[in-house]
């Protein structure tokens, strides 16, 4: 089995979890909605990492900001530094020659050799005195201070022993990592795949299709995907099904037409294109999202209401994409503890997302309740707080986990 293909059962290769399609909810409403952990569990059971790709280190510096995640651990091939060397500019000495030297007791050093930081230690020396601790007396060099053995010297293997695991699988590469890997002579690393993400705009009256297309493209790019944007398409089951099942994608994301109106044909189209595994999630906003497979790859249907679309992307579609890309499937938003100014109420049985902003005194306050549609609340917010389904909310003054929308925190 390809670990990346959705819908394959590890044991039999053909069975699917939740094989019976959920009912058509149009005009009827949802009789039940899956708990968020059930949806997440379906994704985790169905979606695995695509084969990693080998990239040359020389190609990485300009693209590092896009996020590159190691697919396998990197070990130090040998000791670093490979030999004793000067840790600073100065004069290499035998430390025993400097015993008792001081500014009132200059000690001549006939065999002293000037070294620059990084140069190998000359034979017979074991310390580097800084330039400030030396003086010239005619042709002679004198020490104005003593050096202990090893002082000013970087010893072989001091930075790193050969075989040490430098970076674990899943590690997101940082600038200094490139520097050390290059210094160690490692010229290629294996990093997570860049999944091909087809985003189908299934239309809907809520907002211009560009709204969702721009936002979803930015989100999927952030999570490591290469985006193909399709649509907006009419509310036509066959047209949507054809777009869903077309080859060439590793993940299908569709936005819009997931609700209970007559035109909400996206779930039916998914059933036609592959499998509709779960439709409806106990998540607010985002409760009409659906999961399944299309053309042999995982598929996530997002609501067309923009805030519901954003929420369901982050928690469901993004999770699937991050798994395909070999990244941490959890939310990519920095998490910090924060104290809430006001009570946040939440319905038991439903995971709710509050958009919040920081106050002047370092606490957070809600900008918009989970019921409030539209992106304005998310734009005015610094981050969000998730209230789990088993909670009826948190009182004023409680500490919660703030998820920051951008990369900053504190």
**CB of 13 or CB of 185, closer to a second copy:** 185
Q: Is 24 helix (H, G, I), strand (E, B) or coil?
A: coil
- CA 193 – CA 323 distance, rounded (Å): 10
Q: Toward a second copy, which CB reaches closer, 6 or 290?
A: 290
Instruction: Specify the 3-state DSSP secondary structure of 395.
Output: coil
Q: Is the CB of 17 or the CB of 122 nearer to a second copy?
A: 122
CB 188 within 8 A of CB 289: no
Residue 178 Cβ vs a second copy, minimum distance, rounded to whole Å: 4
DSSP 278-332: EE-BSEES-TT-EEEEETTEEEEEE-SSHHHHHHHIIIIIHHHHHHHTTS--S--
The pair of three-digit structure tokens given for residue 389, joined into one six-digit string: 């389904």
Residue found by looking up tokens 């009132």 in the block: 104
Quote the least distance from Cβ 296 to a second copy, whole Å. Answer: 26
Minimum CB separation of residue 116 from a second copy in Å reads: 4
Instruction: Return the residue matching tokens 């004069």.
Output: 91
Instruction: Compare residues 80 and 354 and give the one whose CB is closer to a second copy.
Output: 80
Residues in contact with 179: Cβ distance below 8 Å, sequence separation at least 6, in sequence order:
none
Q: Is 107 helix (H, G, I), strand (E, B) or coil?
A: strand
For a second copy, the closer CB: 17 or 261: 261
The rounded Cα 130 to chain-centroid distance in angstroms is 44
Minimum distance between the CB of residue 5 and a second copy, rounded to whole angstroms? 27
The smaller minimum CB distance to a second copy, of residues 245 and 402, is found at 402
Q: Tell me how far, at minimum, the Cβ of 268 lies from a second copy, in Å.
A: 15
Angle between helices 266-273 and 237-245 (to 10 degrees): 50
Please choose, from the candidates 203, 210, 313, 182, the residue with its C-alpha nearest in 3D space to the C-alpha of residue 258: 203
Closest CB to a second copy among 106 and 130? 130
Compute the least distance from the CB of residue 221 to a second copy, in Å.
5
Closest to a second copy by CB, 6 or 181: 181
- Closer of 250 and 382 to a second copy (Cβ): 382
Number of alpha carbons in the 13 Å side-chain half-sphere of residue 3: 11
DSSP string for residues in 196-258: EEEEEE---SSS-HHHHHHHHHHHHHHTT-EEEEE-PPPS-HHHHHHHHH-SS-SEEEEES--
Question: d(Cα 77, Cα 68) in Å, to the nearest integer?
Answer: 21
Q: Which is nearer to a second copy, 114 or 391 (CB)?
A: 114
Cβ atoms of 124 and 114 within 8 Å: the answer is no
Q: How far is the CB of 232 from a second copy (least distance, A)?
A: 13
Are 101 and 145 within 8 A, CB to CB? yes
Token pair listed for 22: 């959920």
Enter the tokens of residue 309: 């679309």
Q: How far is the CB of 42 from a second copy (least distance, A)?
A: 24
**Least separation in angstroms between CB 174 and a second copy:** 5
CB of 208 to a second copy, least distance (A): 6
């Amino acid at each position: 089995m390809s670990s990346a293909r959705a819908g394959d059962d590890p044991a039999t290769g053909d069975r699917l979890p939740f094989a019976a399609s959920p009912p058509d909810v149009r005009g009827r409403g949802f009789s039940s909605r899956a708990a968020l952990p059930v949806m997440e569990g379906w994704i985790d059971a169905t979606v695995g990492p695509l084969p990693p790709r080998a990239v040359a280190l020389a190609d990485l510096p300009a693209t590092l900001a896009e996020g590159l995640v190691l697919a396998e651990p990197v070990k130090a091939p040998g000791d670093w530094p490979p030999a004793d060397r000067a840790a600073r500019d100065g004069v290499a000495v035998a430390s025993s020659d400097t015993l008792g030297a001081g500014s009132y007791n200059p000690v001549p050093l006939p065999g002293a050799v000037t070294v620059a930081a990084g140069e190998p230690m000359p034979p017979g020396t074991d310390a580097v005195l800084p330039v400030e601790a030396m003086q010239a007396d005619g042709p002679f060099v004198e020490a104005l201070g003593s050096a202990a053995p090893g002082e000013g010297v970087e010893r072989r293997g001091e930075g790193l022993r050969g075989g040490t695991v430098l970076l674990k699988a899943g590690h997101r590469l940082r600038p200094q990592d490139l520097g050390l890997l290059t210094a160690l002579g490692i010229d290629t690393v294996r990093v997570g795949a860049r999944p091909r993400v087809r985003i189908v705009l299934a239309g809907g009256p809520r907002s211009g299709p560009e709204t969702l297309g721009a936002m979803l493209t930015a989100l999927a790019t952030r999570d490591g995907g290469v985006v193909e944007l399709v649509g907006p398409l009419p509310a036509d089951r066959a047209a949507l099904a054809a777009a869903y099942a077309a080859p060439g994608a590793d993940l299908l994301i569709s936005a819009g037409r997931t609700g209970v109106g007559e035109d909400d044909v996206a779930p039916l189209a998914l059933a036609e294109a592959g499998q509709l595994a779960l439709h409806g999630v106990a998540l607010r906003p985002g409760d009409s999202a659906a999961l399944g497979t299309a053309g042999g790859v995982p598929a996530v249907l997002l609501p067309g209401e923009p805030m519901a679309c954003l929420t369901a992307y982050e928690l469901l579609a993004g999770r699937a994409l991050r798994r395909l890309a070999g990244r941490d499937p959890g939310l990519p938003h920095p998490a910090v503890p924060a104290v809430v100014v006001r009570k946040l109420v939440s319905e038991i049985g439903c995971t709710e997302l509050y958009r919040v902003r920081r106050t002047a005194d370092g606490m957070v306050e809600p900008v918009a309740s989970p019921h409030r549609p539209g992106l304005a609340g998310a734009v005015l917010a610094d981050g969000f707080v998730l209230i789990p389904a088993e909670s009826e909310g948190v009182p004023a003054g409680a500490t919660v986990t703030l998820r920051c929308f951008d990369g900053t925190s504190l």
